[in-house]
Amino acid sequence: MQLFVIDWSFQNAEDQLFATNEFCKYLKEGKIHQVIDGFELKFIAHTPQNGTGVIICEAQNMSLLFKIFKIWRENFCVSFNFRPALTNEQLLSSH
């Protein structure tokens, strides 16, 4: 599995409000911890003051990430920037 750092941003405040409401509902229902084959969520950080955030996860491939985040892109106009990353151990072993 590959480590990914994903930055997101909203195009406008209205989409951010709708998405935040939906995300909080999703979170309260415990759906954030659902098991998805080939995907492991590590961390989410929200910066609501500017409508952005960061997700750290592991995924089998980038096409799986596009599939998982598709609903947020289509329904709430969220832009995602998927970036493969290295852990400290991976960086050390490649150096």
**pLDDT tens-digit map of 26-67:** 889 887 787 889 999 999 999 989 989 999 999 999 999 999
92: confidence class by pLDDT, cuts 50, 70, 90: very high
d(CA 71, CA 87): 28
- Both tokens of residue 23? 């995300």
pLDDT at 83 over 90: yes
Distances (CA, A) of 21 to 27, 67, 85: 10, 21, 30
> Reduced to 3 states, what is the DSSP secondary structure of residue 47?
strand
Confidence at residue 27, expressed as pLDDT on a 0 to 100 scale? 87
* pTM of the complete model: 0.86
Half-sphere exposure in the Cβ direction for 78 (13 Å, CA): 27
pLDDT at 75 over 90: no
d(CA 82, CA 66): 9
